[in-house]
Amino acid sequence: MPSKKQATKLPTAGKAKEYSFFDDVYDVVRQIPKGRVTSYGAIAAYLGTKLSARMVGWAMNGAHNVQPKVPAQRVVNRNGMLTGKAHFATPTQMEELLKKDGVAVKNDTVVDFAKRFWDPAIELA
């Protein structure tokens, strides 16, 4: 399991750049507006690694101690389910934070998921 602090050197325009996939994930998640949610897969696809939804999940698991804050509650699975809720301080914290954001949740699933879905590929284009 890679560490969020681990960086890979990638060449860019003749220079090496520090690169952290987790930091890229956090940058995307910080842009999700209140009242909206996205999926692990949508973030992965936006970052050009569409098969890395699970790695986005790992990033969200570690997001609770990152500064500036990352609104990890706004990332759910492709069906709108709160699959990441086990990684919050309490079993209900993810739902509580979503409700504070104005997102209704029923049976651990975002109500009107399609309406609330925020696609970074569209919104950040």
pLDDT digits (tens, 9 = 90+) for 31-60: 999 999 999 999 999 999 999 999 999 999
Fold of 18-123: Arc Repressor Mutant, subunit A (1.10.10)
H/E/C letters for each residue in 60-118?
A: HHCHHHCCCCCCHHHEECCCCECCCHHHCCCCCHHHHHHHHCCCCEECCEECCHHHHEC
User: pLDDT tens digits, residue range 71-105?
Assistant: 999 999 999 999 999 999 999 999 999 999 999 99
Q: 91: cis peptide before it, omega within 30°?
A: no
Domain boundaries, the chain: 18-123
This prediction's pTM = 0.84
Q: In whole angstroms, what is the distance from residue 109 CA to residue 123 CA?
A: 23
DSSP helix/strand/coil, 36: coil
DSSP helix/strand/coil, 34: coil
- Cα-only R_g, the chain: 15
